Amino acid sequence: TDAVRRIGRTALVLWPWSAPVPLRRAWCLFEIHATAASGADLVVALPPGERTEMVRALEFEFHRIADALAAVDVATASAHAESD
């Protein structure tokens, strides 16, 4: 958390937006938590095609956004090493 606070921001690349890899990785979820806990900025980036699809879902199929967020589960998140 101290490192994130000193840096002041965390970049989160949502790809694919509907099931973002970082939201299935334990260390990434920890860094998102550390960002929120430290008051640092969370900067979200999407590749151009993903951005277009996400904006469309925001406008016309919001349930897809809710489903993507509801699927985040730290208990089942993967890690490179079990100790992570």
> Looking at residue 32, what is its pLDDT?
96
> Looking at residue 22, what is its pLDDT?
94
> Looking at residue 7, what is its pLDDT?
94
Q: Tell me the two tokens of residue 18.
A: 């509907």
> Looking at residue 48, what is its pLDDT?
87
Per residue in 19-31, is it b (16+ CB within 10 Å) or e — as a string?
ebebbbbbebbbb
> Looking at residue 71, what is its pLDDT?
92
What are the residue ranges of helices labelled H in the chain?
Answer: 2-7, 26-38, 48-60, 62-70
User: For the chain, which ranges sit under pLDDT 50?
Assistant: none
